[in-house]
Amino acid sequence: MRKITIQLLMVMTTILIGVSCTKDKGKIIKDEIDEKNLTPCPEKASCQYLFTEDADLNEAGSGLITGPYRLFWADIQTPGVRTTLYIKAPMEGKTFSFNKQAILDGKVKLIRSCAACLMTPFRLIEDGYVKGINLRPDKQADQTRWLLEAEIILEAIGQPAKRDTLHVKQYFDPNFVFN
C-alpha cells in the first residue's frame, strides 16, 4: 500500500511540474519574427515606420491624440497614393500579438487616400495577424527599436470576391525624444 501511495505521489508531482513549466502561449519569442526579408519600400515611394507612446487616433482616424496605446504607423507614399497602417499596441510589455479578432476590434486601422484616382475602397476583414517585439528592451523608450510583422487581409467594399493582402515586416523607430 505504501509503495502505491509513493508511486501516485511521484506521478502527481511529475504532472504538476510539467504543467507549471509550460511556456506562455501568448508570449512572442524573438525567433518568431525573422529579421530577414523585411518589406522593401516600393520604387519611387517614401516610407516611414514609426511609433509613439501614450497615443491614440482621433475620431476621424487620421490624427494622433493622447491615449492609452503605443501607436505604430507605417506610412507609404507613392506618387498619388498614400497608405497608412496604424497599430494600437499595449503600453506594457516587450512583445505583443494580435489575432483577427483584435484587428476587427479596432486595434488596427488602415487609411488609403488618392486625390485624383478611382480607387476601390477596401476594409479589414476576418483574417490576419500582427506581432511585435522590442529589440532593445534594456534601453529607455526613445532609444528602443521595435520589429513588427503584420499580415492584414482586405476585402473590397461591395465586392467580397475581390481581396488584397497587406504585408508589413519592418523596424519601427521612436517618433519622440525624452532626453
CB 57 within 8 A of CB 86: yes
Q: Is residue 39 part of a domain?
A: yes
Q: Does residue 125 register a pLDDT over 90?
A: no
Give the pLDDT of residue 126.
Answer: 63
Q: What is the mean pLDDT of residues 38-64?
A: 92
Give the pLDDT of residue 2.
Answer: 58
Q: Is residue 16 part of a domain?
A: no
Task: Give me the percent of the chain exceeding a pLDDT of 70.
Answer: 80
Give the pLDDT of residue 57.
Answer: 94
pLDDT tier at 4, thresholds 50, 70, 90: low
Q: Is residue 99 part of a domain?
A: yes
Q: What is the mean pLDDT of residues 162-172?
A: 91
Q: Does residue 122 register a pLDDT over 70?
A: yes
Q: Is residue 10 part of a domain?
A: no
Instruction: Domain of residue 45: give its range.
Output: 24-174
pLDDT tier at 25, thresholds 50, 70, 90: very low
Q: Does residue 65 register a pLDDT over 90?
A: yes
Give the pLDDT of residue 161.
Answer: 81
Q: Is residue 8 part of a domain?
A: no
What pLDDT, in 10s, does the model give residues 127-151? Answer: 799 999 999 999 999 999 999 999 9
